[in-house]
Structure 1
Amino acid sequence: MAANFTLDSNPDSYFSLDDILASQEKVPCTFNTQVSNMGYMDQSTTDTNIVSGTKLELPFWLAKSLDRGSRSIINIDTPKNYKEVYRQIFTADPNVVDLHKLGPYFYLFGGKLISLHLPDNDDIASVLLKSGDLLLMVYRQVEVQGLFDDMVFFVFM
């Protein structure tokens, strides 16, 4: 592997079905500004506009394109499966967590989240690496494949 490899830097990912499916994962977002004629995205209102302060879950690919530095119209929050509570569980004993219930692309999507520059990126990256290492160790000892997503094998094997 190259020294500058990241989970989001696979050059073949444009045509990768796994990458496309991982990009569909939802992320919680809060709109910073009013967005005209897009109210249909918020099913809880009949307003034609999205007003400032509206909270929605958007697909990762859309949220990433709307989160553009100083011109960002949304703030992206950390998804539930990557918050502190889950990170503590993974750090303590990652083999008790069924990753397929959290999403079949847990590691691939986690790598994509890191590209968003969330406040807890370092913690997310650390947990992904530590839990991946521990899961790989368990896998080699017990050979239990049901607990893994495809990205574990891509990164750690």
Structure 2
Amino acid sequence: MSYYSISAILTSAQKVPCTFDLPIPNRGFLDDNPGGDIAAHTPLPLPLYLAELLAVQQLDNRPLLTLDLPSSLQPRVLNALKADAKSVDLRGQEVYFFEGAARVLELLEEEEVGDGLCEAFKKRAAEIADHARNARGGTSSGEGGEFLRGLDEWERGLFRAAHDSSKAVRMWMGEVKGAK
């Protein structure tokens, strides 16, 4: 994560579900209870940056809170990605879907989820590359346009890079052909 990365900052602000394992005195303001306490086993969505910090903290060798899988990484979404990765509107799930998932999965031991997301990204990346090579920049209507509207920010960056490089190669090929 880059200190100056806007996407990293915005990803850090996304709320993720957490459950406090221990009672926390005088922190009720996190749960709209000014001056109150947070009881043990209280579910509470927190910004990712705060959840990451608290998830690794321990008090008396017991974890302070447990980070839960966000709704965007629940089996319903993962099964849809597994069935047909390019049919899922990831932007509708989270604008920074893959970046947020990577940060959450660093803290959780969910190898199966990580493997499924890697496979989905590979399939989607191939589709993104196909659209980026399109002469119109992949802005066609229909199924392709719907797919492109559902790209998360990492994928949009990939699309821009692939489109720009494809355009540069076409220009270079034109210059090479013109020089002969």
Instruction: Give TM-score, length-normalised by structure 1.
Output: 0.80
Q: CA deviation at 1:26?
A: 1.2
Indicate the structure (1 or 2) with the bigger Cα radius of gyration: 2
Supply the distance in 1 between the matched residues of 2:21 and 2:35 (Cα, whole angstroms). Answer: 17
What are the Cα deviations for residues 117-156 of structure 1, in whole angstroms up to 9, with x where unaligned?
x24x2122112211111112222334353232222345x9
More helix by share: 2
Where do 4+ consecutive residues of structure 1 move more than 6 Å? none
Unpaired runs of 5+ residues, structure 2, are 132-137, 139-143, 163-180
Contact in 2 for aligned 1:110/1:124 (Cα 8 Å): no
Letter of the structure 1 residue corresponding to residue 149 of structure 2: G
Give the 5 Å matches for 1:2-151: 10=1, 13-43=2-32, 48-68=36-56, 70-71=58-59, 72-116=63-107, 118-119=108-109, 121-142=110-131, 143=138, 144=144, 145-151=148-154
Percent identity between matched residues is 25
Unpaired runs of 5+ residues, structure 1, are 1-9
Letter of the structure 2 residue corresponding to residue 58 of structure 1: L
Q: CA deviation at 1:70?
A: 4.8
Letter of the structure 1 residue corresponding to residue 44 of structure 2: L
Contact in 1 for aligned 2:17/2:45 (Cα 8 Å): yes
Instruction: Give TM-score, length-normalised by structure 2.
Output: 0.71
